Chain A
C-alpha cells in the first residue's frame, strides 16, 4: 500500500445508520448463537427470506469481509491465507474469511465477527470461487452444507425472460433447500410467513427503485460514498420491516433534497459512473472526485446489479428463482450492454471509472468490454484504476489520485 487510505465522508443522515446496522447485526448474531439458535453462513443475495421464515439466522462471509475491509483489518488475515499456500491473486473476501477461520489471534472484527456456522448454504449464481470456498469451509467446520446453482445466463436468453428449463432447475433446487432446512430444524416451512417476508422484500425493492430514480436528479442528492452501503439492508435484512423502514427514511431524505434542488456538491460538473465492488478500505476515494466538482452518481454494483428484484408473494419460489438468476454478474454481455447504456443515459454520465479488481475476475472481466462499448456508442471516456475490494496491500493511493487528476482534466477539456 502506498499512501494512506481514507474513510468516506457521508453527506446524508440516514446512511450514517448503516455502520451501526452492520455492527448490531453481528452482535445480535452472537446473541442468537448463544441462545442455541442455528446460524447459517451463506452468500450475499441468497434467499434469506426462507431462512428467516425458519428462524435460522443468515450470516454472510462476503459482507463480513467487506466490513473487515472498511475497518482496515484485512491485510493480516489475507496474509494468513497466503501463508497457507493460497495465491495472492485469489478473491480477498475468501482470503480474509479463511484467515479469520484458521487464525484466532487476528484483531477483533466489527461486532466480534461471525459466530461459527451450524449450516453452510450457497447459491452459485456467477462467482465459481465461492463454491470452492464453501467446500473449504465445509471441510473445516464439518457442518451440513447445501450448494445450489442458478446458471449463468447465456446470450440466448435475458434475465427478464428465463427459459423454462432454467426456472424449473432453480425452483427444484429451492424445494430441495427447503427440505434440507426442514430436516435440519425438524419443522416445516411456514409458507404464509415466507410470503409475508417476500411482501417486505417487494416493498423494499419498490423503495430502492425510488432511490435510484431520485439519484437521477441534477444535481444528484447522493454520491457513491453514501450509496455503497445502501445495499446493506438488502443483504442483511431483506424480508424484514426494518429494511423497509430504512429505505422509506432514505427516500424521504432524498425527496426533500431533490425538492430543494440540493445536491451533494454546490456545483456539479462531472457525473461519473463506477463499475465494480467498492474498495472498502478506502471508500473515501469517492469523495476525492468532489474537489473537481465530480460526483459518482451511479454504480453498476448498486444501480443495475439486481439486488432489489421485485417479488410476487403469490409465486414465492418462482420469484426467488428469478431473483437468484438475474444479477449483473450472472447475465450475458449482451444484457449488460443494455443495462449499462441505459444507466449511462438515465444518469447523464460524463465519465466512467472501472476498478480493476484482480481478485474478482467475475466482476472485472467485463471492464474492457464496457469501457470500449461506452466509447464507441456514446463517446464517453473511461479510466481504469487498480483497486482490490478488500485487500489494501497493492493499492497505490498516490498513483490512483494522480490518474484521477489527469482524467478529470481530460474530461474538463472535452
Chain B
C-alpha cells in the first residue's frame, strides 16, 4: 500500500469503482456511511505548510485542522459527495463550521457526540443524534439504511479492526518486515478505502509475513510507543527508525485508537454503534470520569504487550485537550518507570533538530 497523494478523492473513487464518497472528520460512525452506499473517507490533511489558510482560519489552531481547510481551499475536496463531521473538540467544531460556510458541499452535517459517556441521558441523546442523521442522510442519498446493510458494514469494519490488531502483533515479532511507515499506511487505508479491499490486502500481508517468518528479529533496539492524536508526516516514523528505535505501538487517533476495540454485535446495530462510539473510544477530547486513568491503562497495556522501552508523546501544537492530559500522563508513566519524550509537531517535521532529541532519548533508554 502506498501513501496517498493528492487529489485524494480521485484515488479513492478509483478504488471503489465510482461509489459516492463522503469525507469525514474524527470518529464519525463510518459504518452508517458505508451502509448508505457511500465510501467513508477520513480526511487526513497534509503535512505541507499552507499559509494561505491564515486568511480563513486562525494561525493558532492545530496544523491538522488548518491543512484540512487548506486542502479544501486548493480544491482537493471538490469531488466529495458529502462532508460529515462529529463534534469532538472546539477545533473540530470551528473547522466543521468554517468548511460548511466557505465551500459548497452537496451535503454537510455535524453530529453531536456527548463528551461524557457517564452523563445522564448521554446514550439516549447520542442515539437520537444518530437516528436524526440517519434520516437526514437517507433523504439526501435517496436510499434507506437497512439493518442488514448496517450489520454487514459493522462486520466488515470489525474484520479490518481484527486484522490490524494482528498486524500490530506481527510487527512486534517481525519489525524488519513491517516498518512503522508501512503499518501507519495500513491504518490510513482502513479509514479511507473500501473495507473489502483493505481486508483482502491485510490478509495477504499477514500471510506473507507469516510465510517468511524466518526473518530475523532485529538486533536489540529500543522499542517505542507513540502517544498523541495525528502524525501527519510519516517521515517521523522513518526518522525514529533511522535514529535506531523501533516503533511497536501507538495510541494515536489515526492509529490504534481507531481499531483496537470491536463494535459489539448484539442484533441492534444502531445501538451497537452508539455504544461503541460513545463508550469505547478512549478519546482525550472526552472528560468521562476516570478517562485519564483509562488512557494510562491503555498505554500501559501496549507497554506490556509489546515490551515497550519508552513512550514518545507526539503532540500537535495547539491541540489543547492532548496538551492538558500530557503532564499528568508523563508523571504517572514516570511513576511506573516508563521514560518518555515530548515532541510538538506542526506539519512537516524538522529532521535535524528532532533527530538529535530522539537520538538522545534513545541513548537514555538503551
Contact = CB atoms under 8 A, between A and B. Distances in A.
Interface string B39-73: 00000000000000011111011000000000000
Contacts of B124: 165, 169
A127 B289 CA distance: 18
A91 B318 CA distance: 10
Interface stretch (A150-158, A193-201, A254-262): A150-158
B115 interface: yes
Contacts of B129: 165
Rank and list the top 10 A-B pairs by shortest CB-CB distance, nearest first: A85-B327, A365-B94, A131-B287, A358-B60, A333-B97, A165-B128, A154-B110, A169-B125, A362-B90, A172-B121
Nearest to B318: A89
A131 to B, nearest CB: 4
Main secondary structure of the interface of B (DSSP, over half): helix
Given A165-B129, A361-B60, A176 B120 contact: yes
B324 A173 contact: no
A173 B122 CA distance: 9
B198 interface: no
Contact-size category for B: 35 or more
Interface string B159-178: 00000000000000000000
A10 interface: no
A136 B287 CA distance: 10
Interface string A141-162: 0000101110110111000000
B110 A155 contact: yes
Interface in A95-132: 124, 126-129, 131-132
Of A126, A135, A145, the most chain B CB neighbours within 10 A belong to A135
Given A333-B101, A369-B97, A369-B98, A129 B110 contact: no
Contact of B57 (A87, A89, A334, A368): A368
Contacts of B317: 89
Of A89, A129, A362, A365, the most chain B CB neighbours within 10 A belong to A365
10 contacts: A126-B90, A136-B324, A136-B328, A154-B110, A166-B125, A169-B125, A172-B120, A173-B121, A334-B97, A361-B91
A176 B90 CA distance: 26
Contact of A91 (B111, B119, B289, B320): B320
Contacts of A364: 58, 60
Given A90-B320, A128-B321, A152-B87, A367 B58 contact: yes
Nearest to B62: A361
B112 A154 contact: yes
Given A126-B90, A129-B321, A361-B320, 9 more contacts: A85-B331, A87-B320, A132-B287, A132-B321, A156-B109, A176-B120, A333-B98, A365-B98, A368-B98
B89 interface: yes
Contacts of A139: 292, 328
Nearest to B287: A131
Contacts of A361: 58, 60-61, 90-91, 94, 318, 320
A84 interface: yes
Contacts of A154: 87, 109-112
B326 interface: yes
Contact of B324 (A90, A176, A372): A90
Contact of A155 (B100, B114, B120): B100
B363 interface: no
B320 to A, nearest CB: 5
A136 B291 CA distance: 11
Contact of B119 (A132, A149, A168): A149
A246 interface: no
